[in-house]
Amino acid sequence: IGANNALINFFDNYKNFNEFEKEHKCICDFFEYGMGENLITGKYVNEMLWYEYIILNPEINHRVIMKKNRKSHYFLITATKKDLDNNDSIIIVTLNDITKEIEIQERLKHLNENLEDLVDEKTKELQVLNENLEKRVQQELEENRKKDRTLIQQSRFAALGEMLGNIAHQWRQPLSAISSTVSSMKIQLE
């Protein structure tokens, strides 16, 4: 009775289960087509009634999709056969709403895809940065080599200038002595 009330609450355009039964002999009238594994979409599955198929394959998590207010709701569905005392039997169908879980899985799948795209994008950016970094390192190395060459050349010129200064000093010393001797001789001659 409680389960039937939950069904009537889902299909809110019916007041009670008897009203639902007048219009529909089978809940399978509401099964929708969709994507997914083990989805029951109609009255027959593999040429068997859907509930017989479920009873014969209990190890499978069977699913159905039903719409409420144009929104798809996902359910795990099970069916069990109960024998009654008078050689009759009834089929008990249980529906468990897994809509939230499916929505979360879809969101996670979407986030995962976005994450993969983001990782790919960041990987490409890192590759570009690495290539640019290598080029910049090469440029900096080349500039440092040029500076080193310039510094070496400047130090050579400085050493050469110092050496020329020393040579000039060495030349000036005797010339200075000769010049003073000549000056003194000139004075003596006069």
Average pLDDT per block of 10 residues along the chain, 190 residues long: 72 80 84 85 89 92 89 90 85 88 90 90 92 90 94 94 88 84 89
Contact assessment for residue 56 and residue 48, using Cβ atoms and an 8 Å cutoff: yes
**Which residue is associated with the tokens 């009634």?**
49
pLDDT reported for residue 9: 79
CB contact set of 97 (below 8 Å; sequence gap of 6+): 73, 74, 75
pLDDT reported for residue 13: 80
Contact assessment for residue 39 and residue 64, using Cβ atoms and an 8 Å cutoff: yes
CB contact set of 60 (below 8 Å; sequence gap of 6+): 38, 54
Per the document, the length of the chain is 190
Going edge to edge, which strands form the sheet with 89-97?
63-68, 71-83, 89-97
Contact assessment for residue 87 and residue 62, using Cβ atoms and an 8 Å cutoff: no
Alpha-carbon gap, residue 158 to 172, rounded angstroms: 21
pLDDT reported for residue 1: 55
